[in-house]
Amino acid sequence: MQGLTGFGVMLVALPLMAMFIGIKTAVPLIVLFGMVINLILIYQLSRHFSPRKWLPLVIASLPGIPVGVYIHKSVSQRPLEILVGIVLIITTANTWLRFRPKQALGRFWAAVAGFAAGCLAGSIGTSGPPVVIYTSLQPWTKSEIKATLVAFFMLNGLGVLVFFLLNGFFTVRTLVLFGWCAAPLVLGVLAGSLFYGRINDAHYRNVVLWLLGLLGLLMLFKG
């Protein structure tokens, strides 16, 4: 799924893997998955990366992280997950009904999306929804959208990886499971990238919107 759209590894893998190996093992394992996936996609999309598109998102996310940590300590996760689910579903419906901006969203909205992503990362551990919404509303090509998502998630994942390393979250079991999963993971990314190369920009946006809607429903259900 992430090879096709540029996001979705947490959405697809976490609910399934948590049933078999437990959430505390699944999350660090998926962090490793994300790093491998993004390294492959960065190589594939290297000529489409534009710092002007992803750097404002990354910078704006940094002050949002401590705010999110504060929210995590003072507010329960359930209302936050419900709020994110509602926003995702409204945004998906809005875009399907073609109520989209007539021109590119400016730096202000990049700052809003980045800051919101940082807040979500610090509060519920999911930074993706605001960035996916922001990129899906831009008049960019599918390669520009996917490259921006990959760059953001790669840098965000590096921060999470360092945090997990410092806190000893990567156990021997995690590394053994990662070894078993590495080959299927790479094959999955290549398969997703193959399908990505065969769809046009309009179909790509529809796939992203379906995933956004599904993520919104999952957030509501979880909340």
> pLDDT digit string (tens) for 82-119?
877 787 787 777 666 655 566 778 889 999 999 998 88
Half-sphere CA count of 127, side-chain side, radius 13 A? 28
Count the neighbouring beta carbons within 10 Å of the beta carbon of residue 36.
16
- Give residue-wise pLDDT tens across range 6-42: 877 777 777 778 778 877 788 788 889 988 999 999 9
Which residue type does 212 have? L
Which residue type does 117 have? A
Q: What is the pTM of this model?
A: 0.77
For residue 158, count CB atoms less than 10 angstroms from its CB and return exposed for 0-12, middle for 13-18, buried for 19 or more: middle
b/e map of 69-104 (b: 16 or more CB within 10 Å)? eebbeeeeeeebbeebbebbbebbeebeeeeeeeee
For residue 10, the model assigns a pLDDT of: 75
| Overall average pLDDT of the 69-85 stretch | 75
Helices 201-222 and 77-96, packing angle to 10 deg: 150
For residue 195, the model assigns a pLDDT of: 86
Task: Report which of 35, 32, 9 is spatially closest to residue 174, judged by C-alpha positions.
Answer: 32
CB-CB contact of 79 with 26 (8 Å): no
Two tokens, residue 51: 């710092």
In angstroms, the CA 188 to CA 217 distance is 25
- What DSSP string describes 15-32? HHHHHHH-HHHHHHHHHH
- Give residue-wise pLDDT tens across range 148-190: 999 998 888 888 788 778 878 888 999 999 999 999 999 999 9
